[in-house]
Chain A
Amino acid sequence: MTQVQDHSPTPQVLNPPLLGISGLNVYYGESHILRNVDLTVGQGQMVCLIGRNGVGKTTLLKTVMGLLSPREGQIRFRNEIITRKSPHQRARMGIGYVPQGREIIPRVTVRENLLLGLEARPQGRKGNDTIPEEIFDLFPVLKTMLHRMGGDLSGGQQQQLAIARALMGKPQLLVLDEPTEGIQPSIILEIEAAVRGIIEATGISVLLVEQHLHFVRQADRYYAMQKGGIVASGATKDLSQEVIQRFLSV
């Protein structure tokens, strides 16, 4: 048998990957955070980034979203170079972002938070103010809180709202930054099930940063990061105990 290797068909050859990152270098001032990062997310694939705290996972996601601009390197999405595009243009191209810490708009109701998610649709919101039933099928708890302020929800509810809000824009790529951080185990399972359900129902791709091993195993591929670079990658089913020990703080 082969060692740690990618068993899924090489996406570059068959059809271009949905998201392709090559030679990415990102700095905060003069400190070099990301070093020559290469990463691809194929159509319908779920990719998980693992690594200890402070290795640059969140920085990488922020760069994908356009909140940070790289000094070198290229990001391609749907076969278009998006390295110089602004975050709102990227959102409208179909990248849905669920940031670390949720970033719910605090003094706006849950309903309005969800409606804001519609802005990411290519044609914008345009007076549309219906929330599709599927959202409430995935996260029933939101239906009962539509008129509460976003900032008054608990952490777990905010996390569900953040994912629901990203889905409102019908993204092709869902970027999730530690969706289970600081959340009670039963809700972690709910969120996991919801993410799995979304992928099965819509076939969208997911780029995920996660520490929770059970959740990591749901992904198709993993990339392990250390000191701002990718040091290992492969199919998650080949995740060895040794890799887990080295890159997940378990």
Chain B
Amino acid sequence: MVLQLIQGLFNGLSIGSVLLVVALGLAIVFGLMGVINLAHGELMMLGAYTTFVVQNTFRPLGEPVFSFYIFAALPMAFLVAALVGLALERGVIRFLYGRPLETLLATWGVSLILRQFVRSVNGSLALSLGVFCLLFFGAWVILSRLRRDWSELRNRVLWGVGILSGAIAFFTHKVLDSNPTFSTLWFSARNVDVTAPPWLRGGIPLGNFQLPYARIFIIVLTLICVVGIYWFLNRSNWGLRIRAVTQNRNMSACLGIPTDRVDALTFALGSGLAGVAGVAIALLGSVGPNTGQNYIVDAFMVVVVGGVGNLFGTIIAAMAIGIVTYLIGSGTIAALLLPIDALKPVTEFFLFFATTSMAKVMVFALIIAFLQFKPAGIFAPKGRTAEL
């Protein structure tokens, strides 16, 4: 009985920590910056694919090294997702600050592009994209150095440069695509599998069930991320700048803080965390182009329930949702109530919801009910600050 409850709590915590690691990046991008980034799930997906690539690069190196590929995958996934996030912020989102509807549409478009990119990326596509970026941004850098009247010329010239480098890149793509070494798909639309290193397989036996190492690894990883983010936001110079800019952009600029750089850094940080979350979800199951979609709703749910802009609330919400989902879904509550005859109807009610998908239905219903009473989440801002 007690063992069953402990098992329930542990599994709930591990679901909660997956939710939390997935929601952490969003707590920064959506919670602090107020950007509704629907491509956040795809940043996770990129992190998961990075894990897959790193795993395959490490495989030929043999056993002792291969076991530790996960520690190379974590920073790589962070870096890849952060760079894509940075490009997304500089290229799309920074023009849309304060316009949530347009941001939502634009980032949804980006998420579709990223999903299709993973499906159809091959050598020739990657190379021609590289050629385009090299030509376009190379010309941009060179011209802005050479021409003193660059700011007036810019818009007209960039169109021309863009079309020209686009045409060259397209041509490169056509030529390379006839060569089979460049035309084989890297990932294709099928799911790929990340195998956990041997030391993450199995688990600690505890009675008649076990605590899987992979789950423990995710809990520890989440803990490290939370502590790291907390330290960064509350103790470092950049953290203070981020908090100032997210609370009052204009005044922060008037204090001498370069707000555009702070925005870019904040967004890159949130995106990088999505990449780390990608490593975690790669350990849990196979990875496909649509992987991100399975997690994005959960992530938004956690941030909203926790109270937008409140890191601590996000942690509590993730754990609460994780535990409640597991306790209902696994039938633990129903099993606990079973011996009491008087509560038979209640037991049957919980038995009805004792499957993974029905548990989710119930959690959603509970969240809707909860938001009726506390629309601003668990930790709504209080005091004089609440009015700002």
Contact = CB atoms under 8 A, between A and B. Distances in A.
Do A and B interact?
yes
Interface of A: 65-67, 86-88, 91-92, 97, 99, 103, 105-108, 112, 115-117, 119-121, 124-125, 127, 149, 151-152, 165, 169
A53 B322 CA distance: 55
A127 B388 CA distance: 29
9 A-B pairs closest in CB distance: A120-B256, A91-B256, A151-B385, A87-B253, A103-B251, A119-B256, A106-B385, A97-B254, A106-B388
Contacts of A103: 248, 250-251
A160 B255 CA distance: 16
Interface stretch (B41-49, B73-81, B236-244, B347-355): B236-244
Nearest to B257: A119
B222 to A, nearest CB: 25
A67 B249 CA distance: 11
B244 A106 contact: no
B161 to A, nearest CB: 24
B238 to A, nearest CB: 10
Contact of B385 (A92, A107, A124): A107
Interface of B: 237, 240-241, 243-244, 247-248, 250-259, 381, 383-385, 388
B247 A116 contact: no
Q: Interface SS of chain B: helix, strand, loop or mixed? A: helix
Contact of B247 (A97, A107, A127): A107
Nearest to B262: A88
B256 A65 contact: no
A105 B248 CA distance: 6
A153 to B, nearest CB: 8
A151 B388 CA distance: 8
Contact of A91 (B253, B383, B384, B388): B253
Nearest to B309: A107
Contacts of A97: 254-255
B346 to A, nearest CB: 43
B244 A105 contact: yes
Given A105-B247, A112-B240, A169 B255 contact: yes
Nearest to A151: B385
A152 B237 contact: no
Given A105-B247, A107-B247, A120 B385 contact: no
Nearest to B310: A107
A149 B384 CA distance: 10
Nearest to B250: A67
Given A151-B383, A152-B385, A87 B243 contact: no
Contacts of A108: 240, 243-244, 247
Given A88-B255, A88-B257, A151-B384, 15 more contacts: A65-B254, A67-B254, A88-B256, A106-B247, A108-B244, A112-B240, A112-B243, A116-B241, A116-B252, A120-B256, A124-B256, A149-B383, A151-B383, A152-B383, A152-B384
B247 A87 contact: no
A224 B288 CA distance: 68
A106 B241 CA distance: 13
Given A106-B247, A108-B240, A116-B244, A87 B254 contact: yes
Nearest to B260: A86
A30 B270 CA distance: 39
8 contacts: A66-B253, A103-B250, A105-B244, A105-B251, A116-B244, A116-B257, A119-B256, A121-B256
B250 A87 contact: yes
B327 to A, nearest CB: 34
A99 B255 contact: no
A117 B241 CA distance: 11
Contacts of A149: 383, 385
A120 B251 CA distance: 12
A176 B237 CA distance: 27
Nearest to B234: A112
A88 to B, nearest CB: 5
A84 to B, nearest CB: 9
Contact of B240 (A91, A106, A115): A115
Contacts of A112: 240, 243
A88 B245 CA distance: 12
Contacts of B388: 106, 151
Nearest to A93: B256
A104 to B, nearest CB: 8
Contacts of A119: 241, 255-257
A105 B252 contact: yes
Contacts of B244: 105, 108, 116
B386 to A, nearest CB: 9
Nearest to A101: B251
Nearest to A171: B256
Contacts of B253: 66-67, 86-88, 91
Contacts of B237: 125, 127
Contacts of B256: 88, 91-92, 119-121, 124, 169
A112 B257 CA distance: 14
B255 A91 contact: yes
Contact of B255 (A106, A107, A120, A127): A120
B11 to A, nearest CB: 35
A42 B257 CA distance: 27
Contacts of B381: 107
A147 B252 CA distance: 20
A116 B255 contact: yes
Contacts of B384: 106, 151-152
A121 B255 CA distance: 9
A169 B256 CA distance: 9
Contacts of A165: 255
Nearest to A153: B384
Given A106-B385, A107-B385, A117 B255 contact: yes
